[in-house]
Structures are given as C-alpha cells and as structure tokens.
Structure 1
C-alpha cells in the first residue's frame, strides 16, 4: 500500500514540473520567438569572383514582406522581396575590387522583427577558358586563309601520294586475281 502512495506522489510531482514547461512552449510566445531569433542567409554560389553576382535567400523575417542586406563585399545594398511562403530573395553584385576573403552578410527585416547572417567567399579571378571552339589566331586573316585553302583543293604533294596509293591498290588486286586464275598443279 505504501508503494502505491509513493508512486502516486511521484506522478503528481512529475506532472507539476512538466506542466509549466509544456504550457510555456504552447503559448503565443513560441510564435514570437521564431520572429525574434537570428536566422541564416543562404548564398548561391557561396564562392564568387569579384564583379560576380550571388543570390541570397532567408526565411528569418517570418511573414515580413521585405528586408535589406549588407556586406563589405557588396557593391550596393541588397533588397529582399518575397519569393513564396516565408522566404525572401535578393540579388547582390560583389565589388570588383573585393579582395579574396570570407565576408559576413547582415540582413535586417523591414518590420524589425528578424535578423539573419550569412557568409560569402570571394575568390581570385580565374583565367577564363572558352566553353566552345573559338576561331583564334591571325586576327582577320585567319578567316581569309581558311577560305583560300578551301578554294585551292589538294596540292601537288597530296596528288602524288594519292596516285602512289592508287597504283599500289591496282597492283595488289591484279596480283590476287592472277593467283586465283592459275590451275592448281599437283
């Protein structure tokens, strides 16, 4: 009987401790804490050369409709607008004189109920490489040289080589035909 009494008292104490904590989480303050907590900014691409552009996304503003973002790497202030749901989107251009480094991004919601931070990495300029074949070399004469070569056709050297190969082919066919026509001698 005594163990039943102790079990009952322990359940009441546990319920008393858990009730205020669950009531605090279920109250309206939980919704406000989402808007007041610091958020993050996603940056695409996260590594960019000076003069490049990045896309910024955040959902730190909750139901806010706009925000502003700044960074020492940006050429000007980024202005966020609603993209869908609770997400805000902005575009930003990296300063052309930005040194290679990691730069912090600060976003402040227009209504003052949210803030977010993120990072963008500025990298050195890479050497540009063509993504498709390029007509290069000789300036404007490259096109003229190509047209002249197409009009001339094969030269004397190619003609002599072709005639030699043709003669070898004729001799091979004649030799093979002559061997087939001989009667078999036993």
Structure 2
C-alpha cells in the first residue's frame, strides 16, 4: 500500500521536471509571424509598378511575393531596417479588380497578405518614353500648336502681297513693251 503514494510522488516529480523543459523547447522554436503587405500605390493601372513592403519575416533576409496581377514573382530584399522591400509590375492585360498579394518568408516562418486595386483610366499612361522634350513644356507646345496656323488674318495678308506682286509684274511688263516699241 505504501507503493501507491510513492508512485504518485514519482509521477509528479517527473512531470515537474519535464514540463519546464517542454515549455523551453516550445519557446525556442521559431514561430510563424503573420503580417500585412504595404502596397504603394494602392490603385494602379495595367502595366504600372507597385512598391511592396513587409515586416512579417523577422530575421529572414529575403521573401517572395505573388499575385494574379503580377507579371512575375516579386523578390524581397532588406531595405533601411524597415523590413523587406520589392517592386512588381502589373500585367498589361490585368482586368480592373481588387487583387491580393501573398508573401512568404524564405525561412518559411512568416507570411503576409495585402491588397491593391487595378483601375483603367480613360487615357492610358505611357510605359515607354514619350516623344516630348522639356518636361512640362510638352503640354504648352501642344496647346500652342492647336492655336497657331493660317487663319483669316494670314489669308488677307497673303492675298494683299499676291496683289502687290501682280501689279508690280503688270507695270514691269507694260514698261518693257513701251521700251520695245520706242
């Protein structure tokens, strides 16, 4: 009968020793960090680019990000101690809609998600360089081109110069004829 209390005490002692060890092991294992992805700009046109920031990766030095709207996988790298940074290009055929971004840390212990919106503008924004020089003067040059050109004033001046030339030729011809007859 005395063996039952002894067994009970041995079990309690073993559990007391094992419990702190299992708690310490659980704390030393890396935990999955969950976070969010910051997408700038949050509204983007097809063919445009977005900047992605994530801080859910802890000590991981890299991560990858995907979205149905991306041309290819975004690769994250450390940036200024603020977390990880990447750029991604939006497919030119992406339909206007809200899209989700999924980021997975390289060590596999962190994940993050974010959203952005693809919008279509009435005028497509250029992706390639534009044939215009001088920065903002392209708009002024376009407006000046619409306003200049031959108008009524130019037509009247042209007709007057043409009439003067015709009269000068007529007088010169008449003078030559008189000289030839004399």
TM-score, normalised on structure 2?
0.55
Change (3 A) 1:138 1:44: closer
Q: In structure 2, what is the equivalent of residue 136 of structure 1? A: 142
Deviation at 1:29, TM superposition (A): 2.8
Q: How big is the alpha-carbon RMSD for the aligned residues of Structure 1 and Structure 2?
A: 3.7
For the residues of structure 1 that align with 2:82 and 2:30, how far apart are their CA atoms?
Answer: 15
1:50·1:125 contact (CA, 8 Å) conserved in 2? no
Q: For 1:19-38, what per-residue CA distance to the aligned partner results, in whole angstroms no more than 9, with x for missing partners?
A: xxxxx8xx9739944xx132
1:61·1:86 contact (CA, 8 Å) conserved in 2? no
In the TM superposition, 1:105-184 aligns within 5 A as: 105-127=101-123, 132=137, 133-136=139-142
Alignment partner of 1:63: what SS? coil
For the residues of structure 1 that align with 2:81 and 2:110, how far apart are their CA atoms?
Answer: 16
Change (3 A) 1:87 1:108: same
Alignment partner of 1:135: what SS? helix
Q: In structure 2, what is the equivalent of residue 9 of structure 1? A: none
1:107·1:115 contact (CA, 8 Å) conserved in 2? yes
Change (3 A) 1:137 1:46: closer
Which stretches in structure 1 are left out of the alignment for 5+ residues? 1-23, 156-186
1:70·1:105 contact (CA, 8 Å) conserved in 2? yes
Tell me if 1:70 matches 2:76: no
Which stretches in structure 2 are left out of the alignment for 5+ residues? 1-22, 126-134, 158-182
Aligned residues: 122
Deviation at 1:113, TM superposition (A): 1.1
Q: For 1:29-60, what per-residue CA distance to the aligned partner results, in whole angstroms no more than 9, with x for missing partners?
A: 39944xx1321100000100000000000011
Change (3 A) 1:134 1:28: farther
Change (3 A) 1:42 1:137: closer
For the residues of structure 2 that align with 1:102 and 1:110, how far apart are their CA atoms?
Answer: 26
Deviation at 1:68, TM superposition (A): 0.4
1:80·1:90 contact (CA, 8 Å) conserved in 2? yes
Q: For 1:114-168, what per-residue CA distance to the aligned partner results, in whole angstroms no more than 9, with x for missing partners?
A: 11111111011242699653323797xx6xx59xx9xx9xx8xxxxxxxxxxxxx
2:63·2:76 contact (CA, 8 Å) conserved in 1? yes
